[in-house]
Structure formats: structure tokens, C-alpha cells
């Protein structure tokens, strides 16, 4: 009897140890797949109510993927984003809902329009470059960023890239001579990161979305 209990105890410990070792990898793979799945969903009309308080954005931890599985975010997608130079393809959600930010980026102000004014979006920087905005820091001046609202493709070219303080929120409301895209994410995937990566790009072209182009956003 004692031998059986002893063996069972070791089996339980082994299972727990294996789970602790593999859970982060499982979580990353799950979030990658969920993000890809979300990007395949249709663009919709935004909900009337959403959160735009970026101080309420929660960090992603190893258990966030379970939350994403329980609450798949695919009904509030207002657009899609792709940065070919660093292999980023993400859905754009209306507002900064924590669950939605597990699989994409969110708009930072309520009254924003692609191709007009300052279209500001934010998302998580993950240590894994395959996740969310984990490879944004690899972008370079001159790289193109493409947005679509389901009808048109908006081409922006990066002309500013720098590290800023978390308190420099004026970049979200700044106005420019030309229509602009602003992307903000944490400077690293570390918890309590105080620095932010800022990418600012100017609009260079607007074209009608074709069926061929739509595939580049998925």
C-alpha cells in the first residue's frame, strides 16, 4: 500500500513538473493560433461602448491563453494590420479590451478613422517575436505598414521610431500635417516595463481592397 502511494505521488509530481515546463510553450502556440484565427474573421461595425483607458491594460502572463480560449475575441474587429518587413499580421479591435488585446491591437481613441488624422493603436510586446507586436522593434524607417477596413488598403511609411516614457501620452492626440498612423507598445515583454516603443508612419497611398490583397492580411 505504501509503495503504491509512493509511486502515485511521484507520478503526480512528474505530471505537475511536465506541465510547468510545457505550459508557457503551449500558451504561446495557443495565442499564435488564436491570433491567426481572429485575423480570418470579417471586419464588423464597432460596438458603441468600449474601453479607451490604456492605464487599465493588463500584462499578459503564462495563463492568459486560457482566458483567450474561454472568451474568443472575433466580433469587434474593425480592421486589419500587416507589416511585411517584420511579419506582423493582426486584427484591429475597437478600443482596448484586455481579452481582445490577447490576439490583436486596439484603437486608442473612439473617433478615429483610417486615412484621416492620427490613427493611434496599441498592443502587447511579447518576448516571442511571433506573438502580437513582439517584432515591432525590428521595424526600420521607410518600412511600409498596411491597414484595411475591408474596403480600402491604407499604406503608411514609417518616419519616426523611438523609445518614449509611458507618460508621454500626447503622441496619441498629436496632430500632423498628413494623415498618420501611430503604434505604441511596451519596450520589452517584461512585467512592469516603463518604456514604450513608438512608431509613427505617414499615409502615402489609398487603394481599393482586392481579393488578392485581402490574403496578405490573413
Model confidence pLDDT, tens digit, residues 162-214: 999 988 989 999 989 999 999 999 888 777 778 999 999 999 999 999 988 88
Q: What are phi and psi of 217, to 5 degrees?
A: -95, 0
Residue ranges covered by each domain of the chain = 2-217
- Classify 11 as helix, strand or coil: helix
Q: Which helix (H) or strand (E) holds 51?
A: none
To 5 degrees, how large is the angle CA 92–CA 189–CA 78?
A: 5
Q: Which CATH superfamily is domain 2-217 in?
A: Sortase (2.40.260.10)
pLDDT for 53-90, tens place per residue? 878 887 776 666 666 666 566 668 899 999 999 999 99
So what's the pLDDT on residue 54? 78
Single pTM value for the model? 0.81
List the catalytic residues: 124, 186
Q: Which pLDDT does position 2 carry in this prediction?
A: 46
Amino acid at each position: 500500500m505504501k509503495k503504491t502511494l509512493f509511486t502515485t505521488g511521484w507520478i503526480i509530481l512528474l505530471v505537475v513538473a511536465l506541465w510547468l515546463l510545457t505550459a508557457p510553450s503551449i500558451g504561446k502556440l495557443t495565442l499564435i493560433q488564436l491570433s491567426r484565427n481572429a485575423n480570418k474573421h470579417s471586419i464588423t461595425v464597432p460596438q458603441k461602448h468600449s474601453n479607451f483607458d490604456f492605464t487599465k491594460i493588463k500584462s499578459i502572463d503564462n495563463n492568459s491563453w486560457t482566458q483567450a480560449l474561454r472568451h474568443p475575441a472575433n466580433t469587434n474587429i474593425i480592421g486589419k494590420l500587416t507589416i511585411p518587413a517584420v511579419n506582423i499580421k493582426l486584427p484591429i479591435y475597437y478600443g482596448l479590451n484586455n481579452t481582445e488585446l490577447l490576439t490583436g491591437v486596439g484603437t486608442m481613441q473612439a473617433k478615429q478613422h483610417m486615412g484621416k488624422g492620427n490613427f493611434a493603436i496599441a498592443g502587447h510586446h511579447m518576448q516571442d517575436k511571433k506573438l502580437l507586436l513582439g517584432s515591432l522593434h525590428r521595424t526600420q524607417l521607410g518600412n511600409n505598414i498596411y491597414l484595411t477596413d475591408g474596403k480600402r488598403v491604407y499604406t503608411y511609411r514609417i518616419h519616426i521610431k523611438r523609445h518614449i516614457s509611458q507618460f508621454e501620452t500626447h503622441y496619441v492626440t498629436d496632430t500632423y500635417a498628413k494623415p498618420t498612423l501611430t503604434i505604441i507598445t511596451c519596450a520589452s515583454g517584461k512585467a512592469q516595463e516603463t518604456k514604450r516603443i513608438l512608431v509613427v508612419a505617414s499615409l502615402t497611398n489609398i487603394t481599393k481592397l482586392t481579393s488578392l490583397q485581402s490574403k496578405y492580411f490573413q
